[in-house]
Every structure is written in C-alpha cells, then in structure tokens.
Structure 1
Amino acid sequence: MTTVHKIVQSESAPAALGPYSQAIVANGFVFCSGSIGINPQTSVIPEGVEAQTEQVLANMDAVLQASQSSFAQIVKTTVFLKDLKDFDAVNKIYAKNMGGALPARSCVEVARLPKDVLVEIECIATVSA
C-alpha cells in the first residue's frame, strides 16, 4: 500500500526553520511539526512562557486549519518545555485553547529549543472528510 501525503503550508504560521514541512496530511491524519512562538507577521518571539504558549497555539491552529483539522480533532500532543517549572502556566493556556478536548499528551523538559524559546508543541490530529 502506498501512502499518499500532502504537504501543508500556511502563511498564517511561521515558515519552517529548516528542511521540513509545517505539517503533512496522510491517511486521514495531520502530523504537525513542532510549533514555537514566532509571530508570523513580525518574526518576533514574545517574552515569557505564557505569551509564547499563546503564540505557539495560534500558530498550531493556523496549520491545523490549513490541514482541514482543528484543536477538537487532535489525538496526541507532545509539549517540550525549557523548564518543567512552567508546567502549570503552560497547562492553563493549553487547557483554555483546547476547549475541552483532552488528547493524549506527553510533556518533557529539554535542554534547549530552536531560537532559545521556552516552549514547543507538536501534534497529530484527524482531518475532516
């Protein structure tokens, strides 16, 4: 069986920082690359984990919409934190943006993230038919 996939590119989210796609749609799922808090219009990264998390989720939303998906269709996320002490602050913003959806999730502390951001989130979601 061959996998047919589609590369997703949204102008409402920052361009990929390297040789990868913002997302790939394949076999009824969208696999979103990690989103960081770069404002796509200004290329500015906001200060603080709360502001970065809000921007991360706005960027992820744009990519999901371009993929014919949404936060409600996310089945798995991975949250990467520079400091696990930010877990509660990120959780509050994450929960507000997920709107009641409770996908499976992993959260890990990492030594460093691209552009020295404080948070990065990736996800897998289903796509609308």
Structure 2
Amino acid sequence: MKSIHTDNAPAAIGPYSQAVTDGHTVYVSGQIPINPATGEFAGATIEEQAKQSLTNISNILKAAGTDMSHVVKTTVLLKNIQDFAAMNEVYATFFTAPYPARSAFQAADIPKGALVEIEAIAVLD
C-alpha cells in the first residue's frame, strides 16, 4: 500500500492519508470543501462547497496518476439532504458517462461544520 499526497488538496486533519493505492485502485479519503491555498472553506453555499470537495478529489487523483474519468464509486455526505439537487448539479460537471456508482446520505455532523464531504474510489490504468 502506498500513501498519496498533494499540496493541491487539504492536508489530512488526523491520522489518515489523503488517499492510498494498492497499485490498481485509489481510495480517496472524504474531502471537505477546504481550499488548500487558504485553509478555509471555499464558500458558504452547497454549490461552492461541493465544487471544492470534488476539485480536491480531482487533484488527489491527479497526484495518484489517474483522473475523475476513472472513478468507479463515490460516497456523498450532506449536512442537509435537501441540498442533494444543488449538489448533484455541481457533481454532474465533474463526471461523464458511464457515471460512477454513488451513495448519498444526510450526516448528523460533518467535520469543521462543512455542508458536504465526498469520498471516491478510482481505478488506475
């Protein structure tokens, strides 16, 4: 197992890696909407936060040698499930068919008070 790290995504805020790979698959830890350049949330809306979370995933996958077109599964945690449609509009701009499998849940609380956290699993070529 190899740990993946990039400065183009927020540093881990605990004892975990941004992502790990076994050489075939990349497992990206849940990404909250922290802009790595500022250390702050990218914005206050679900759209801004979903875009930043997905951008962080994209940057981690790039560091691992793959991209969003190789994502096979995501999990989306929302502070409020009523934000699903707005998050989904942003999400759709990051993926093309065939779309990855996905689960989405409302979470009682997300780290640092984020509105969304997204994790991903991708395959390597």
TM range (shorter): over 0.9
CA drift of 1:99 comes to: 3.2
Q: Is the 8 A contact 1:38 1:44 kept in 2?
A: yes
Residue 110 of structure 2: aligned partner: 113
What is the CA RMSD across the aligned residues, in angstroms? 0.9
Q: Does 1:40 align with 2:36?
A: yes
Deviating runs (4+, > 4 A) in structure 1?
A: none
Distance 2:121 2:73 in 1: 5
CA distance in 1: counterparts of 2:122 and 2:86, whole angstroms: 24
TM-score for the superposition, normalised by structure 1: 0.93
Question: What is the TM-score of this pair, normalised by structure 2?
Answer: 0.96
Structure 2: which 5+ runs fail to align? none
Structure 1 unpaired stretches of 5+: none
How far off its partner does 1:69 sit? 1.3
Match of 1:11 in 2: 7
Structure number with larger C-alpha Rg: 1
Query: For residue 100 of structure 2, what is the aligned residue in structure 1?
Result: 103
Aligned-pair distance for 1:97?
1.2
How far 1:100 moved relative to its partner? 3.4
Q: Any idea what SS the aligned residue of 1:57 has?
A: helix
The partner residue of 1:20 within 16, 27, 33 is: 16
Q: How far off its partner does 1:27 sit?
A: 4.3
User: Number of matched residues?
Assistant: 124
2:66 to 46, 65, 69: 69
Q: What residue is the counterpart of 1:87 in the other structure?
A: 84
Alignment-derived partner of residue 25 in structure 2: 29
